[in-house]
């Protein structure tokens, strides 16, 4: 029984790391723009497909394919920002970009459906079949890779935010756009950059999720709602909170499966979400942004 | 001032009368069952959209959970009819009340939260409702579904009976309720209550300084908006005859919100047109087959980008331009 | 008696109209309406159904009788399916309709088609309610959930000597229904259900479910009711957890006809030892099947799945009924009801009084060998 409990802990952390990769981008965008991007899910899906075609159709390696997916995600983020968010930013209505990205999402999903078809792809990473066993427990090399890549991405993101000028500018814009502008920071540039980084993370997440997810044009949609929950539980725009919340949701998912049954996962996760909102709406970690509460 | 008000008021009543005439004529124009079915779907979506607009557009509370209230109305009324043998109309009332009560529960979050926090809270509420409908199989049949739900029972006087298995009559019933909801909401938003809600939407703090109890009014707005959605749900069950939880998945909420935005948030007539357009558009696009949803998604994005005030704004612009043109004409006619 | 030419023309045309001009047209053109899910995740079915239909029509229209088809997206959901069915009936006026795949959608359109007196030929929905009680206008060529579930459970207990089982199924009409029939039959025979695990269609990672299965005790069989995508992940996760034969364990995964030919190649070694029923057996040596496979490969350069074959058989069965003299909705219905010995690529068809195909030769048991090929078990 103890092995099963420990095993579920490992499963939860692996799954949680995947959720973190998806949710981090959403959090970044929210932190800087106070906007919700529904098309984020489709960037994840496209990332997964680009990694799939890079490895399976062009014979590329799996590790380079992660970089390919990252670039595809970044490019897509740039486009969505330029086409939807930048023109709508001036209007100052929080609802318009939300609805516009729902439209973009419907469009992207169905373009992918027309291109790739609805039949699930078998994305075999060389790491997903290698099973490591010890003490009655098991995990695949892919899960080790997922945790490693998530950790590396988070580390790099931190370093970027803390030590580079652009990173500092990004945080400045997130805290106060006008003052940042007065300090000579071009907010439009910074916002574009935020979008590119967030979407690159999503694309990379797609490459990591590809071998785990049921890879169809609807793959991203199946994780995005949970990613929203994670962003909220962690506190909108709060990177540390998002990481912790992602891992917690992963653990909830594996233990709910064990104890209550997988049908109840969403009920437990979203009940926690509502509880958080009722008790501590600023998220797990105390938050500076007060005006939305 | 009062003169202008009453003139506008009269124009409004003329508009409602015109809408009633259109409703009366529509099933005579569209005689086949396919288009009559679409008419009923339009009427249902109009109810959902104006109910949501009351909460989002007037009270300023971003609700992404309208699908849940649609589902609660549908399931509560159907289960009361099928399990307890309640007649349709009492079950209808219960469905509406159940939706309104759950709307009030959600509004307790709105009392504390705003903007995207409330959006995600309401989304979470919709996810939980959907999952309960799906998993509580002993009560709702879950994914096994409920079949053979009867349409509302016939009503009428002796010798003259309106039978709702006839799609035209069912349309009159649903559209009648949609119109009734519209008139009620219209009266509300034009009464001092509407001003109160708008004041809360614009600035809660100054509203409070005017002695407005924002919490109470938010609860009220949610109750009204979700009650209308619940009513639509009751009709949905009797109309489609089949209930499965998938019909009330969260994406339905996004569709309804899209109707409000495309129509023009914060006006009541806009979402009516938005609901009709977004119901009929995918049907017209059936001809293009696989491209259908690509075009739909693109159209939705473009409308938001280039017509952010929705159809209501476009109509206003057209009217203004027309009036300016005609005044120029009359000015030109005079030497 | 002399009749003025004009009057005669009028007379003749009235007569013709009375005889029913639609019948005159229908004699050379049979109109088929297709209700397939073409959008959303359900398009998994629609895309493959359409391939099979197109192949069959191409062959048929080369030889005499003309068939015409119109596809409508019924979206795997009751309301859109109802709208699509009404659109077909009002605007296209089909003589026969084929489809839906999802049981909810099929059940929703049945009364619509019955009211319009247009026969519905279904292949892919397994809910028992479609034919029990069913209606005179709905026919199903696939074995329903009760026929499949009882057969698999009985064979598991008697031939595999299985005493314990874990049920894995998607939380859908078909998943719950099939799993329940298996569970009931298996328990009645004396077996034990160790765990009963249903999951949503949005579950992606099955490691947690596989872990839970490892803790369920000694498992003989794991009947699994999912579609291809989740099926792949479950099979791989169970093997990684060391539960099933494919992962060095003792349990045998049992499957139903939902998985396509080629599933094993996608799942890899994890699928070894999987025993499942297939309705379409590509190793079948009948000429008809060989020709179908060859024609399919020529047209689409890929192997046909059971969904392709189902759709192909639906059209071929309609063509068979037409060949027997049917020419409109009513006569096609009667012809379908009278079908006793149709032979299709998925097996043969004979309808009982509820219009359910009762031929069990549509169920073939296959075991996956270590080289991922199939071994026919010949249990029927």
DSSP readout, A106-151?
Answer: HHHHHHHHHHH-SSPB----TTTS-EEEETTEEEEHHHHHHHHHHH
Taking contacts as CB-CB distances below 8 angstroms, the residues of chain B near A266 are 127-128, 131
pLDDT of residue A256: 94
End-to-end CA distance of chain B: 32
Euclidean distance between CA atoms A100 and A79, whole angstroms: 14
Taking contacts as CB-CB distances below 8 angstroms, the residues of chain C near A18 are 205
Q: Is C248 helix (H, G, I), strand (E, B) or coil?
A: coil
pLDDT greater than 50 at residue B131: yes
Classify residue A182 as exposed, middle or buried by CB count within 10 Å of its CB (0-12, 13-18, 19+): exposed
Taking contacts as CB-CB distances below 8 angstroms, the residues of chain C near A128 are 236
pLDDT of residue A289: 46
Element (H, E) at B176: helix B167-190
pLDDT of residue B5: 59
CB-nearest to B147 from C72, C107, C177 is C107
Q: Is C365 helix (H, G, I), strand (E, B) or coil?
A: strand
Q: Give the closest residue to C212 by CA, choosing from C232, C230, C194, C225.
A: C194
- Percentage of chain A modeled with pLDDT above 70: 96
CB–CB contact B289 C71 (8 Å): yes
pLDDT of residue A286: 54
Q: pLDDT, tens digit, for every residue of B161-206?
A: 888 989 999 999 999 999 999 999 999 998 888 888 888 888 888 8
Euclidean distance between CA atoms C299 and C316, whole angstroms: 18
Residues C337, C233 contacting (CB under 8 angstroms): no
Residue B196: how many CA atoms within 13 Å on its side-chain side? 17
Tokens of B55: 């909460």
Q: Which of A34-38, B87-91, C90-94, C338-342 has the lowest mean pLDDT?
A: A34-38
Euclidean distance between CA atoms B37 and C78, whole angstroms: 13
Element (H, E) at C239: helix C228-240
pLDDT of residue C3: 44
Euclidean distance between CA atoms A212 and A216, whole angstroms: 12
Euclidean distance between CA atoms C149 and C172, whole angstroms: 16
CB-nearest to B131 from A108, A266, A278 is A266
Euclidean distance between CA atoms A49 and A45, whole angstroms: 6
Tokens of B163: 């039978």
Euclidean distance between CA atoms C75 and A222, whole angstroms: 18
pLDDT of residue C296: 95
DSSP A87: H
Between helices B66-84 and B115-135, what is the axis angle to 10°? 30
Taking contacts as CB-CB distances below 8 angstroms, the residues of chain B near C172 are 143
pLDDT of residue A293: 36
Q: Tell me, yes or no, if B31 comes closer than 8 A to chain A by beta carbon.
A: no
Distances (CA, A) of A56 to A49, A50, A60, A112, A176: 10, 10, 7, 17, 46
Q: Give the closest residue to A110 by CA, choosing from A45, A26, A35, A36.
A: A45
pTM (two decimals): 0.90
Element (H, E) at C67: strand C66-73
The torsion of the CA quartet C359, C364, C365, C368, rounded to 10 degrees, works out to -170
String of DSSP letters for B85-153: ---HHHHHHHHHHHHHHHHHHHHHHHHH--HHHHHHHHHHHHHHHHHHHHH-HHHH-GGG-B--PPPPP
In chain B the domains, ranked by start, together with CATH numbers, are 2-249 (1.10.3470)
CB–CB contact A277 B127 (8 Å): no
Distance to chain B for C213, nearest Cα, Å: 21
Q: Which residue has the higher pLDDT, C186 or A159?
A: C186
Q: Is the dihedral of CA A63, A67, A68, A73 positive or negative?
A: positive
Taking contacts as CB-CB distances below 8 angstroms, the residues of chain C near A214 are 204, 229-230, 232-233
Helices (H) and strands (E) in chain B, counts: 14, 2
Phi, psi of C344, deg, nearest 5: -110, 180
Q: pLDDT, tens digit, for every residue of A92-143?
A: 677 788 888 889 999 999 999 999 999 999 888 888 888 888 877 888 899 8
Chains with at least 3 CB pairs less than 8 angstroms from chain A = B, C
Distance to chain C for A174, nearest Cα, Å: 34
CB–CB contact A266 B127 (8 Å): yes
Q: Is C11 helix (H, G, I), strand (E, B) or coil?
A: helix
- Percentage of chain C modeled with pLDDT above 70: 92
- Percentage of chain C modeled with pLDDT above 90: 64
Residues C74, C45 contacting (CB under 8 angstroms): no
Euclidean distance between CA atoms B282 and C357, whole angstroms: 36
Mutate to test the interface with B, among C70, C90, C116 (most CBs of B within 10 A): C90
pLDDT greater than 50 at residue C9: no
Bond preceding residue C133 cis, omega within 30 of 0 = yes
Tokens of C59: 């062959």
pLDDT greater than 70 at residue B1: no
CB–CB contact A263 C48 (8 Å): no
CB–CB contact C38 B241 (8 Å): no
pLDDT greater than 50 at residue C2: no
Q: B308: which residues sit within 8 A by CB, 6+ positions away?
A: A88, A91, A93, A96
Q: pLDDT, tens digit, for every residue of B55-85?
A: 998 988 889 899 999 999 999 999 999 999 9
Q: Give the closest residue to A27 by CA, choosing from A188, A227, A189.
A: A227
Euclidean distance between CA atoms A40 and A25, whole angstroms: 8
Please name the fold of domain A2-279. Answer: ABC transporter involved in vitamin B12 uptake, BtuC (1.10.3470)
Query: How many CB atoms are closer than 10 A to CB B280?
Result: 16
Chains with at least 3 CB pairs less than 8 angstroms from chain B = A, C
pLDDT of residue B198: 87
CB–CB contact C108 B143 (8 Å): no
CB–CB contact A91 B308 (8 Å): yes
Taking contacts as CB-CB distances below 8 angstroms, the residues of chain C near A261 are 197-199
pLDDT of residue C26: 44
CB–CB contact A118 C240 (8 Å): no
CB–CB contact C44 A12 (8 Å): no
Q: Is the dihedral of CA B244, B247, B251, B254 positive or negative?
A: negative
pLDDT of residue B108: 86
The torsion of the CA quartet A164, A170, A174, A179, rounded to 10 degrees, works out to 90
Taking contacts as CB-CB distances below 8 angstroms, the residues of chain A near B301 are 84, 100, 103-104, 107
pLDDT of residue B39: 96
Phi, psi of C365, deg, nearest 5: -90, 130
Residues C177, A240 contacting (CB under 8 angstroms): no
Strand partners, A134: A137
Alpha helices in chain A (DSSP H): 2-33, 40-56, 62-80, 86-89, 95-116, 141-163, 165-175, 177-182, 187-209, 221-234, 239-259, 265-279
pLDDT greater than 90 at residue C137: yes
Q: Give the closest residue to A36 by CA, choosing from A45, A26, A44.
A: A26
Please name the fold of domain C146-278+363-376. Answer: Rossmann fold (3.40.50)
What band does B332 get if pLDDT is binned at 50, 70 and 90? low
Q: Tell me, yes or no, if B119 comes closer than 8 A to chain A by beta carbon.
A: yes
Q: Do domains C23-143+286-349 and C146-278+363-376 have the same CATH topology?
A: yes
Residue labelled with tokens 């088809």: C69
Q: Which of A54-68, A140-154, B109-123, C134-148 has the lowest mean pLDDT?
A: B109-123
Q: What residues does each domain of chain C span? A: 23-143+286-349, 146-278+363-376
Q: Which of A126-130, B169-173, C203-207, C323-327 has the lowest mean pLDDT?
A: A126-130
Residues C224, C231 contacting (CB under 8 angstroms): yes
Taking contacts as CB-CB distances below 8 angstroms, the residues of chain A near C215 are 1, 4, 258
With respect to CATH, is domain C23-143+286-349 assigned 3.40.50.1100?
no
Euclidean distance between CA atoms A200 and A220, whole angstroms: 15
CB–CB contact B297 A107 (8 Å): yes
Distance to chain A for C249, nearest Cα, Å: 13
Distances (CA, A) of B178 to B9, B54, B172, C238: 20, 14, 10, 52
Q: Which residue has the higher pLDDT, B150 or B117?
A: B150
What band does A76 get if pLDDT is binned at 50, 70 and 90? very high
Q: Tell me, yes or no, if B32 comes closer than 8 A to chain C by beta carbon.
A: yes
CB–CB contact B305 A94 (8 Å): no
Residues A235, A27 contacting (CB under 8 angstroms): no
Residue B17: how many CA atoms within 13 Å on its side-chain side? 6
Element (H, E) at C73: strand C66-73
pLDDT of residue C17: 44
CB-nearest to C83 from B38, B242, B293 is B38
Q: Tell me, yes or no, if B143 comes closer than 8 A to chain C by beta carbon.
A: yes
CB-nearest to C39 from B41, B134, B293 is B293
Distances (CA, A) of A8 to A244, B17, B193, C208, C210: 17, 64, 53, 6, 10
């Amino acid at each position: 029984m103890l092995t099963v409990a420990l095993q579920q802990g490992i499963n939860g952390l692996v799954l949680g790391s995947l959720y973190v990769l998806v949710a981090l981008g959403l959090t970044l965008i929210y932190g800087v723009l106070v906007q919700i991007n529904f098309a984020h899910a489709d960037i994840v899906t496209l990332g997964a497909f680009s990694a799939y075609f890079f490895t399976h159709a062009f014979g590329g390696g799996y590790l380079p394919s992660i970089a390919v997916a990252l670039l595809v995600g970044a490019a897509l983020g740039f486009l969505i920002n330029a086409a939807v968010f930048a023109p709508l930013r001036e209007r100052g209505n929080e609802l318009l970009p939300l609805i516009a990205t729902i439209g973009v999402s419907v469009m992207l999903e169905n373009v992918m459906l027309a291109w790739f078809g609805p039949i699930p792809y078998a994305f075999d990473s060389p790491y997903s079949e290698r099973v490591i066993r010890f003490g009655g427990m098991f995990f695949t090399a892919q899960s080790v890779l997922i945790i490693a890549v998530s950790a590396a991405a988070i580390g790099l993101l931190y370093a970027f935010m803390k030590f580079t000028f652009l990173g500092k500018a990004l945080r400045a814009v997130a805290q106060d756009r006008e003052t940042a502008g007065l300090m000579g920071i071009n907010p439009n540039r910074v916002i574009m950059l935020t979008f590119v980084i967030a979407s690159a993370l999503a694309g990379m997440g797609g490459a990591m999720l590809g071998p785990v997810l049921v890879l169809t044009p609807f793959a991203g949609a199946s994780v995005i709602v949970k990613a929203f929950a994670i962003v909220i539980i962690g506190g909108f725009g709060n990177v540390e909170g998002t990481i912790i919340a992602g891992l917690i949701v992963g653990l909830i998912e594996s233990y709910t499966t064990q104890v209550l049954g997988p049908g109840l996962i969403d009920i437990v996760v979203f009940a926690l979400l509502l509880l958080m909102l009722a008790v501590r709406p600023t998220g797990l970690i105390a938050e500076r942004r007060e005006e939305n509460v | 001032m009062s003169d202008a008000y009453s003139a506008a008021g009269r124009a409004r009543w003329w508009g409602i009368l015109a809408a009633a005439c259109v409703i009366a004529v529509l099933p005579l124009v569209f005689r086949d069952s396919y288009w009559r079915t679409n008419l009923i779907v339009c009427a249902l979506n109009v109810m959902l959209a104006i109910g949501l607009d009351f909460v989002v557009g007037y009270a300023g509370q971003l609700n992404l959970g309208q699908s849940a209230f649609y589902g609660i109305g549908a399931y509560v009324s159907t289960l009361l009819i099928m399990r307890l043998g309640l007649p349709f109309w009492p079950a209808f009332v219960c469905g509406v009340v159940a939706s309104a009560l759950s709307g009030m529960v959600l509004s307790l979050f709105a009392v504390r939260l705003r903007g995207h926090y409330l959006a995600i809270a309401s989304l979470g509420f919709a996810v939980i409702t959907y999952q309960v409908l799906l998993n509580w199989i002993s009560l709702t049949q879950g994914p096994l579904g409920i079949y053979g739900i009867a349409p509302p029972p016939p009503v009428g006087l002796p010798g003259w009976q309106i039978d709702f298995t006839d799609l035209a009559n069912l349309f009159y019933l649903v559209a009648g309720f949609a119109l009734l909801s519209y008139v009620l909401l219209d009266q509300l938003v034009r009464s001092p209550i509407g001003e109160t809600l708008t004041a809360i939407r614009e600035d809660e703090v100054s509203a409070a300084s005017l002695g407005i109890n924002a919490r109470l009014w938010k609860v009220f707005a949610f109750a009204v908006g979700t009650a209308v959605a619940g009513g639509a749900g009751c009709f949905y069950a009797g109309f489609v005859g089949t209930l499965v939880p998938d019909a009330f998945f969260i994406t339905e909420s996004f569709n309804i919100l899209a109707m409000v935005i495309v129509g023009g948030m914060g006006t009541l007539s806009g979402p009516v047109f938005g609901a009709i357009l977004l119901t009929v558009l995918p049907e017209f696009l059936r001809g293009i087959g696989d491209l259908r949803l690509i075009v739909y998604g693109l159209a939705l994005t473009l409308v938001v980008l280039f017509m952010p005030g929705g159809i209501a704004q476009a109509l206003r612009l057209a009217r203004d331009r027309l009036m300016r043109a005609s005044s120029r004409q009359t000015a030109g006619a005079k030497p | 008696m002399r009749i003025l030419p004009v009057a005669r023309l009028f007379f003749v045309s009235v007569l013709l109209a009375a005889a029913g001009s639609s019948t005159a047209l229908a004699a050379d053109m049979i109109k088929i309406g297709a209700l397939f899910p073409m959008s959303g995740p359900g398009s998994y079915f629609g895309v493959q159904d359409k391939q099979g239909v197109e192949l069959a029509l191409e062959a048929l229209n080369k030889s005499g009788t003309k068939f015409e088809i119109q596809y409508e997206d019924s979206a795997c959901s009751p309301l859109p399916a109802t709208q699509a069915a009404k659109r077909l009936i009002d605007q296209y006026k089909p003589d026969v309709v084929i489809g839906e795949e999802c049981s909810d959608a099929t059940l929703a359109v049945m009364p619509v088609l019955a009211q319009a007196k247009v026969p519905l030929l279904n292949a892919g929905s397994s809910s028992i309610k479609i034919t029990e009680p069913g209606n005179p206008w709905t026919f199903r060529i696939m074995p329903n959930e009760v026929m499949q579930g009882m057969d698999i459970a009985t064979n598991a207990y008697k031939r595999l000597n299985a005493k314990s089982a874990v049920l894995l199924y998607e939380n859908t009409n078909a998943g719950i229904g099939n799993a329940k029939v298996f569970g009931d039959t298996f328990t009645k025979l004396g077996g034990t259900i160790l765990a009963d695990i249903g999951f949503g269609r949005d579950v992606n990672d099955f490691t947690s479910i596989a872990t839970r299965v490892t803790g369920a005790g000694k498992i003989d069989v794991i009947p699994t009711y999912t579609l291809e995508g989740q099926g792949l992940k479950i099979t791989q996760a169970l093997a990684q957890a060391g539960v099933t034969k494919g992962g060095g364990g003792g349990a045998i995964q049992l499957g139903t006809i939902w998985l396509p030919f080629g599933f094993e190649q996608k799942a890899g070694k994890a699928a070894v030892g999987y025993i499942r029923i297939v309705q379409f057996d590509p190793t079948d040596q009948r000429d008809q099947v060989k020709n179908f496979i060859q024609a399919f490969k020529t047209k689409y350069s890929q192997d046909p799945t059971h969904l392709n074959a189902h759709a192909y058989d639906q059209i071929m069965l309609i063509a068979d009924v037409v060949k027997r003299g049917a020419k409109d909705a009513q006569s096609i219905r009667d012809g379908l009801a009278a079908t006793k010995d149709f032979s299709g690529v998925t097996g043969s068809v004979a309808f009982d009084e509820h219009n359910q195909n009762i031929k069990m030769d549509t169920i073939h048991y296959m075991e996956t060998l270590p080289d991922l090929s199939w071994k026919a078990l010949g249990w029927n």
